[in-house]
Structure 1
Amino acid sequence: MDTDGEDFADLLQQADQLAADAETGSDLPRVTRNLNQIYETSQRLVSKVAPISQDSTDVKASILLGTKGYDVPKISQKLEGLSAAKTFEPLEPVRDTDIQSFLRNERENALLAVIEQTKRNTFEEAEKRHWECMENEWEREKQKILNSLRGLGQDTLDFQPESESFVAEPVSMHGRSNLDNMEMAYARQVFVYNERIVEGSIRPNLVDMFHDVARQSDDKHVCELWEMVKSMTEVPLVATDSIKETRLDPRTQASFIVQAKQYLEQMYCKHIQKIIYGNLQQAQMGGIPGTFNSVRSFLNVHPQHLKGLEDGLVDGHPVWAMIYYCLRCGDVAAAQQVVSRAAHNLGDFQVFLNEYASDEDNRLSAGSEKKLSLQYRRSVKGGTDPFKKVCYCVIGGCDPDEDHPEVADSIDDYLWIKLSQIQLHPESTHQDPFTLHKLQKLLFEDFGESHFSGYQQPFLYFEVLILTAQFEAAIEFLSRIDRLMCHAVHVALAFYEQKLLLLPQNSQAQLLTKEPSDISPLRRLNFVRLITMYTRKFEATDAREALQYFYFLRDLHTSQGENLFKSCVSELVLETREFEMLLGKIDRDGTRHPGAIDKFHGDTQKIIEVVARDTESKGLFEDAVRLYDLANKHDKVLEILNKLISQVVSQPNAPQSSRDRLRALAISIAERYRTQGKEGSRANTKTFLLMLDLLTFFDFYHESNMEESLSTIKQLQLLPFTAEEVEHKVNTFRHYTDEVRRCLPDILLATMNILHAKFKQAKTSAPMSPFTGGRSTDGGKDTFLNYLRSEARALIMFAGMLPYRLPGDTNARLVQIEVLMN
């Protein structure tokens, strides 16, 4: 212990000596630092010297971790075994000697690259679709704005090119009609058509009537639209239980395909003739008129210089091009003429073409079809002649996935080729036959209107849909463009009258729907909604024309069983309030003048009843009275009038007031019913007559004619005026209707006020007696006053004994008046 004490004392002495030397042995000032400053200075000094070797660092780490029980070599091995391969970052290449790790990392890097590329493509496609949707939406809005501007008159700027004008003349703004010239022309044809139907004469062809309107408009696109509709409606219908079964029947679908092909072929023949006559010098027409020479002249104007054309020439033109254009014009005989001139180069194709031409449906036998398909796959498909490929595909219906872009340079050519390849017969040798449903799905669902730029080229997309028998989708698309709405409606009318339009079961469905039982491309058009959307534009100004369109709905019903024609007429009447023009009217002598509805329906009364019922349900009771009267529902007339009069009977009469109108209406009906011997039920008739008398009573009361008003109320025998009558009147009151009971508080107050007025008059004048005919008598004044008091007392007793809760203020006012008389 002593030794330790001496050592510590020596250290302390040395430290003091060093401090003394530091203070006196140097000219520098003394610096005082704490531990943190000393540590930072030491770290700065260390950084200036050479770096510590890895071995010394490992030694220090071993010393530090070893004190805690960690085995540093084993930890190092574990850390080296860890891999970052599970991250989503591209992996670093491993050492060349580790083949398995290298391949694993390469595979995962490839997957990550595919994921990243797919993500980038998805975002690009989404953005592209977004902008396409925005463009289409803006195009629709632009069309709506342009359509609105067209309706402002001739001073409005016309943003539409002349070639796409839909009306030959400027919009007529004369009168108050909201229909333009084209719509008015359509409406006239609808009127004529309905006239023929109502008269029972031979039904005219509605498509031809609308086609005449299109021709008069001198609009090329509209004319072509109706030519397509005419072609697709001229099909023999198969007798089935429903329109859906008719549309899906193979025979009907075959007729649709034939009609569509014929239309495309006729249009192509016109196109060729137009090219030829526009270039007569180059065409070098000659020889026997016909398709063969027309095709040759057409090729003189537009020679085919495609590379790889095979099998020689005919009259200086490629043989397969000649065959294709003859087939494209719908002339198989002309194609046979071409084949016969080059038969030595065409192999078995002449046999196939002859069999194709001899068949009524233009189809090959199963054996020939199999041979042609085999030959196509072996040699033709891999060839270089695009016309040869098309001819084989058209004749044999093979390779429907091929679009033939070198030949089919227009949508008409594309449709014609695809329609020619459709297989309608189950015995076809094709394992997966190309059907009309597949073509419809391809064009409507896979491609859609964005692919065909529908809003920029509406007639083109309409053609695609209508020629592939997608009538509902074509009409719905056309109806979304405001300037084409009228054409869409009348195309729908044409197909509906031909029994070719599929309708939804629910009349409240959207415009284009699909039933759960329908196959993929099949759609249904809400014909009722389309008609009401169209008529809403002009029903306020052209109610008669709207009625003509509603007549097409006469055979349709709602899910509740209501006739849609009647429902639409009811809504039209309520919206326009043209009661007399549409439904007719009744004169004072009971004569009924027919309205516009009379010529459409044999039982007009039921339609008027529907309108009256709807009017009543909407709370338009005065109109309902007139309509029920028009429908000869006399009891209903009296019932509603009783309710209306009871609400205003006690009010003072004023010109043009509700009471004044109801009073005039009730009196006119009462006079006519009495003259013609018409009446309702006993209760309603009795109440109605009582209400008329109460109107008279209150008229006298508000005119301060106390004598007449008191005399009137006593004649009605509604109230007791003696104590002996109270019980009897109370029992009688139970048999009155609610309308009469509702008026009782006002009747009691008015009668008490009359008695009080007579009481005050009697007190301030000479005595008058009811028993002496109003002559003055000595001592009769008190008797008369007591007589009025007894009448008032009887009314108070009557009010107290009624099994009817009177308003609280009524009882108080009655008692107050009775007190004033005492």
Structure 2
Amino acid sequence: METEGFRDLLQQAEQLTAEMDSGTDLPHVERNLAQILEAGQRLMTRTAPASHDASDVKASILLGSKGYVLPKITERLDGLRATTTFEPLEPVRDTDIQGFLKNERENALLSVIEQTRKHTFAEVERHQWESMQNEWEREKHKILNTLLGSGPDTFEFQQETEMLSSDSVLNQGRSNLDHIEMAYARQVYVYNEDVVSNSIRPSLVHLFLDVAAKIDDKAILDLWEMMRCMSDVPLTPAQGALPAAVRGNKDTQRLLVEKAIHHLESSFLEFLKSVVYENLELSRLGGIPGTFNLVRSYLKLHLPPSSFTAEDGVLEGQPIWALVYYCLRCGDMKAAQQVVDKVSHQLGDFASYFHEYVKNPQHRLSVANDTKIKLQYRRVVKNTQDPYKRAVFCVVGQCDPHEDHAEISDKIDDYLWLKLSQLEVDDDHNSQESLTLERFQKLLYEDYGESHFQGYQNPMLYTQVLVLTGQFEAAVEFLSRVEHLRHHAVHMALGLFELNLLYLPSSCQAPLLSQEAGDPQCVRRLNIARLIMMYTRKFEATDAREALQYFFFLRNLKTASGDNMFQSCVSELVLETREFEMLLGRLERDGTRRPGAIDKFCQDTDKIIETVARDTEAKGMFEEAVCLYDLARNQDKAVVLINKLLSKVVSQAPSPEGNRDRLKNQAVSMAQRYRTVPQNITAANSGTFFLLLDLMTFFDHYHAGTIDQALDTVKQLKLLPFKPDEVEHRVNGFKNFTDEIRRNMPDILLATMTLLHNKYTQTRSSSVHSPVPGQAGIKDGGKETFLNYLRSQAKTLIMFAGMLPYRLPGDVNARLVQIEVLMN
């Protein structure tokens, strides 16, 4: 049966094979299982990843639907070459002339573009670094201005006998002031001495000029010469007048402009003399003195501008208009008039204009002539090739004030002189054509500013520009930012401040330079209090007396809280230096006060000392505040403070050089003086003060272990009851004590109870049956009786502690009860 079953299966399999082979042209392949496995692995290795095939198929379908053939696109992309935008084109064949020229043209354009791009980036980077450097320079000066303090450049100062007086402030060997600052401080001391003594005050600017004359620096000397000229205003400000009323006055402004012009003219005259005298052979000055001959000789040496064309002839070999201009530039109207008179026939109507200009005190023309000369300038003179003629017309007739005259005003002094000579101080119509002082100040300070004049590279030049244009506040603020010139800026401000020529802010907390609502655009306000305190911060630690001299200038100013600025600065100085005795004086044993450095400045020194005492107390320096209140003759406040300090240490154990012993010595010294000299102290404060001293004596005996002396002391104070019938009386008396006594009551009770216990233990262990001599309340003289007496006192104290209207600490109550139990 099994054979027949296998035969049937074989027959069915052959039939299936025959059916598969029928109808196909493929050859019949016969392989076993091993061959099939090997062929499958070989085909698998040849097959690409499915994802790659799938992505190519999808790309072909997508692009094919739009009419693109993927293989052709790939070939085109492979043929492209990535090149830079500005890469020169490849050379063409030599025979292709047109292609060669086109290529050369495109290469030239591309090279220009590339060069321009590199130059632009280089310029941008350079400007960026310059801007960053200037910004950091400003920030550095601001930081140094804020953190100004004493530096390491201190040195040994050799005192000069001729510069010191018996009570001079310059008597220290080690100082943070250099020799220039010390010289300035000496002049400040001399000036303040005259102010305090109500004698005739010298000019502070002249005193500082003497210092500058001894410094081997021409720029500094020129600056102070300029300050002397600008501050020498004939209008003496009324005492107490506001600077705004003085500086805003038209007469004062006109005088300031005239002073600036006079300084520029005198400086130029000295310059001409130096040039001519150094070249006498070429200049051939001759023996006739005068400005005319000096100018004529200078013109022989001075090369004219390249575009110069002399008009209207010459005089003695020199151009007429150049002679007139330089005579005016030297400030010699007579010399200029001399030139005009000699050639008046060649100058037409100008001679009459100039006569009127010279005769007028303010050097101004009448309305009719002013109109004529301006019309003549616009029609004829403005287009002339003679720059000196244009300049003379502009000065005499105020024509075209916005013209810079760059051919002849190549120096800042010449530029300032030309502009200041054309200013219209009295221009009430405020026409756009005229040049007012406010517009000129704005032009120099805001439009041009520090960067135009290279302020940090040449600070003296920019400072002189601001001073000559009446911008004193801005000049001082700028110069104070230059560290090695800060002392000059401070003393410039002091000289102007004493003449009432500085605009001051309404608040002492304002920045160093500020503007307030309602001020004209050109007005700046200088916080001189801040400036002085910044300056003195450098040396107040080593030269406190000199700092005090500078603070005296602030005696008429007020702080934000309404206090006197001088007193506030003195208070800060004392707290910083802790030179209490040297600055404020000290009390002698008889109650008199030895004067300090502040006594020479004012008579009401007690008020200043009390101000310092209040500030000291506010800072938590209570021990120093006690001495200061005592020094200011406010003994009641001194006692209140010393009571608070003593109450915190009264129960502590004595320790040499400790806080308790120091306060005790101070309090004992005060008590001895108060007993001999009657003081204005309230009874409550005085009683608390002396009671605290007695309690300190009690605790001294307690910690020393002298039981009998301690018990005698506390019984004499009558603070605690030792008999039952005294309890109620002592409780009522406790209500009258101050907090300083009340807060020490737990320690007093605990110390007294401890003393009673120690006495109890000592008596109980003693072999003597008789009571200790001197003990009250012992009737039979027996030992047990005395022990009962001590137990009674302890029980009385416990009763007193329970009846007190004061919450005792829990541990104190527990300790008192424990000691009382031990005694029973």
Normalising by structure 1, report the TM-score: 0.82
The one-letter code sitting in structure 1 at the alignment partner of 2:445 is F
Map of 1:646 onto structure 2: 647
Q: Judging changes above 3 Å, is the alpha-carbon distance between structure 1 residues 141 and 622 closer, same or farther for their aligned structure 2 residues?
A: closer
The one-letter code sitting in structure 1 at the alignment partner of 2:524 is R
Superposed CA offset, 1:98-149 (max 9, x none): xxxxxxxxxxxxxxxxxx9xx9999789737724624744885999999999
Q: Judging changes above 3 Å, is the alpha-carbon distance between structure 1 residues 352 and 429 closer, same or farther for their aligned structure 2 residues?
A: farther
Map of 2:603 onto structure 1: 602
Map of 1:190 onto structure 2: 188
Task: Tell me if structure 1 keeps the 8 A contact 2:503–2:524.
Answer: yes
Map of 2:437 onto structure 1: 436
CA distance in 1, matches of 2:233, 2:470: 11
CA distance in 2, matches of 1:820, 1:643: 35
CA distance in 2, matches of 1:238, 1:213: 25
The one-letter code sitting in structure 1 at the alignment partner of 2:814 is A
CA distance in 1, matches of 2:183, 2:276: 36
The 3-state SS of whatever aligns with 2:380 is helix
CA distance in 2, matches of 1:503, 1:645: 47
Map of 2:802 onto structure 1: 800
Give the superposition deviation at 1:679. 4.7
Superposed CA offset, 1:259-312 (max 9, x none): 000000000000000000100001101253111111001111114253333222
Q: RCO greater where, 1 or 2, for CA within 8 Å and sep 6 or more?
A: 2
What does residue range 348-427 of structure 1 map to in structure 2 within 5 Å? Answer: 348-426=349-427
Task: Tell me if structure 2 keeps the 8 A contact 1:653–1:660.
Answer: yes
Task: Tell me if structure 2 keeps the 8 A contact 1:635–1:679.
Answer: yes
Q: Judging changes above 3 Å, is the alpha-carbon distance between structure 1 residues 580 and 239 closer, same or farther for their aligned structure 2 residues?
A: closer
Map of 1:179 onto structure 2: 177
1:752 paired with 2:750, answer no
Superposed CA offset, 1:566-612 (max 9, x none): 11111111111111111111121223211111111011111111111
Task: Tell me if structure 2 keeps the 8 A contact 1:767–1:778.
Answer: no
CA distance in 2, matches of 1:46, 1:615: 93
Task: Tell me if structure 1 keeps the 8 A contact 2:723–2:792.
Answer: yes
1:256 paired with 2:224, answer no
Map of 1:271 onto structure 2: 271
Give the superposition deviation at 1:187. 0.5
Give the superposition deviation at 1:395. 1.0
CA distance in 2, matches of 1:243, 1:174: 37
The one-letter code sitting in structure 2 at the alignment partner of 1:790 is S
In the alignment of these two chains, the number of paired residues is 719
Q: Judging changes above 3 Å, is the alpha-carbon distance between structure 1 residues 298 and 749 closer, same or farther for their aligned structure 2 residues?
A: same
1:285 paired with 2:311, answer no
Map of 1:687 onto structure 2: 688
* Among 197, 205, 208, the residue aligned to 1:207: 205
CA distance in 2, matches of 1:804, 1:488: 64
Give the superposition deviation at 1:343. 2.2
Superposed CA offset, 1:450-481 (max 9, x none): 11011110110000000000000000111111
Q: Judging changes above 3 Å, is the alpha-carbon distance between structure 1 residues 698 and 435 closer, same or farther for their aligned structure 2 residues?
A: same
Q: Judging changes above 3 Å, is the alpha-carbon distance between structure 1 residues 514 and 198 closer, same or farther for their aligned structure 2 residues?
A: same
Q: Judging changes above 3 Å, is the alpha-carbon distance between structure 1 residues 148 and 532 closer, same or farther for their aligned structure 2 residues?
A: closer
Task: Tell me if structure 1 keeps the 8 A contact 2:607–2:632.
Answer: yes
The 3-state SS of whatever aligns with 2:383 is coil
Task: Tell me if structure 2 keeps the 8 A contact 1:143–1:483.
Answer: no
Task: Tell me if structure 2 keeps the 8 A contact 1:370–1:429.
Answer: no
What does residue range 663-682 of structure 1 map to in structure 2 within 5 Å? Answer: 663-682=664-683
The 3-state SS of whatever aligns with 1:415 is helix
CA distance in 2, matches of 1:349, 1:730: 109
CA distance in 2, matches of 1:695, 1:429: 82
The one-letter code sitting in structure 2 at the alignment partner of 1:808 is G
Task: Tell me if structure 2 keeps the 8 A contact 1:366–1:429.
Answer: no
Task: Tell me if structure 2 keeps the 8 A contact 1:326–1:335.
Answer: yes
Map of 1:786 onto structure 2: 788
CA distance in 2, matches of 1:562, 1:229: 32
The one-letter code sitting in structure 2 at the alignment partner of 1:355 is E
Give the superposition deviation at 1:152. 5.8
CA distance in 2, matches of 1:275, 1:779: 119
Task: Tell me if structure 1 keeps the 8 A contact 2:154–2:176.
Answer: no
Which range moved further: 462-471 or 298-307? 298-307
Which range moved further: 490-499 or 328-337? 328-337
CA distance in 2, matches of 1:19, 1:356: 134
Q: Judging changes above 3 Å, is the alpha-carbon distance between structure 1 residues 49 and 422 closer, same or farther for their aligned structure 2 residues?
A: closer
Map of 2:533 onto structure 1: 532
1:299 paired with 2:299, answer yes
CA distance in 1, matches of 2:403, 2:125: 28
Task: Tell me if structure 2 keeps the 8 A contact 1:768–1:776.
Answer: no
Map of 1:730 onto structure 2: 731
Task: Tell me if structure 1 keeps the 8 A contact 2:310–2:319.
Answer: yes
Q: Judging changes above 3 Å, is the alpha-carbon distance between structure 1 residues 809 and 285 closer, same or farther for their aligned structure 2 residues?
A: same
Give the superposition deviation at 1:538. 0.7
Give the superposition deviation at 1:508. 1.1
1:819 paired with 2:817, answer no
Normalising by structure 2, report the TM-score: 0.82
Superposed CA offset, 1:80-105 (max 9, x none): xxxxxxxxxxxxxxxxxxxxxxxxxx
CA distance in 1, matches of 2:657, 2:68: 111
The 3-state SS of whatever aligns with 1:381 is helix
Superposed CA offset, 1:469-518 (max 9, x none): 00000001111111111111111110000010111111011111111111
The 3-state SS of whatever aligns with 1:590 is coil
CA distance in 1, matches of 2:129, 2:774: 105
The one-letter code sitting in structure 1 at the alignment partner of 2:823 is M
Which range moved further: 701-710 or 791-800? 791-800
CA distance in 1, matches of 2:584, 2:58: 111
Which range moved further: 502-511 or 766-775? 766-775
Map of 1:625 onto structure 2: 626
Give the superposition deviation at 1:203. 0.8
CA distance in 1, matches of 2:58, 2:665: 116
Q: Judging changes above 3 Å, is the alpha-carbon distance between structure 1 residues 779 and 545 closer, same or farther for their aligned structure 2 residues?
A: closer
Q: Which runs of 5+ in 2 are unaligned?
A: 1-19, 29-42, 74-116, 157-169
What does residue range 327-366 of structure 1 map to in structure 2 within 5 Å? Answer: 327-366=328-367
Give the superposition deviation at 1:174. 8.5
Give the superposition deviation at 1:429. 10
Q: Judging changes above 3 Å, is the alpha-carbon distance between structure 1 residues 481 and 293 closer, same or farther for their aligned structure 2 residues?
A: same
Q: Judging changes above 3 Å, is the alpha-carbon distance between structure 1 residues 612 and 46 closer, same or farther for their aligned structure 2 residues?
A: closer
CA distance in 2, matches of 1:376, 1:330: 23
Superposed CA offset, 1:184-219 (max 9, x none): 001111111111111111111111111001101122
Give the superposition deviation at 1:340. 2.1
Give the superposition deviation at 1:811. 0.8
The one-letter code sitting in structure 1 at the alignment partner of 2:248 is L
CA distance in 2, matches of 1:787, 1:132: 91
The one-letter code sitting in structure 1 at the alignment partner of 2:730 is K
CA distance in 1, matches of 2:538, 2:130: 34
Q: Which runs of 5+ in 1 are unaligned?
A: 1-15, 25-29, 52-115, 155-171
CA distance in 1, matches of 2:771, 2:298: 120
CA distance in 2, matches of 1:501, 1:121: 46
Map of 2:567 onto structure 1: 566
The one-letter code sitting in structure 2 at the alignment partner of 1:678 is Q
Map of 1:322 onto structure 2: 323
CA distance in 2, matches of 1:754, 1:48: 114
CA distance in 1, matches of 2:70, 2:205: 102
The 3-state SS of whatever aligns with 2:719 is coil
Task: Tell me if structure 2 keeps the 8 A contact 1:178–1:537.
Answer: yes
CA distance in 1, matches of 2:339, 2:370: 21
Give the superposition deviation at 1:342. 2.4
Q: Judging changes above 3 Å, is the alpha-carbon distance between structure 1 residues 122 and 277 closer, same or farther for their aligned structure 2 residues?
A: closer
Map of 2:104 onto structure 1: none
Q: Judging changes above 3 Å, is the alpha-carbon distance between structure 1 residues 643 and 533 closer, same or farther for their aligned structure 2 residues?
A: same
Task: Tell me if structure 1 keeps the 8 A contact 2:639–2:685.
Answer: yes
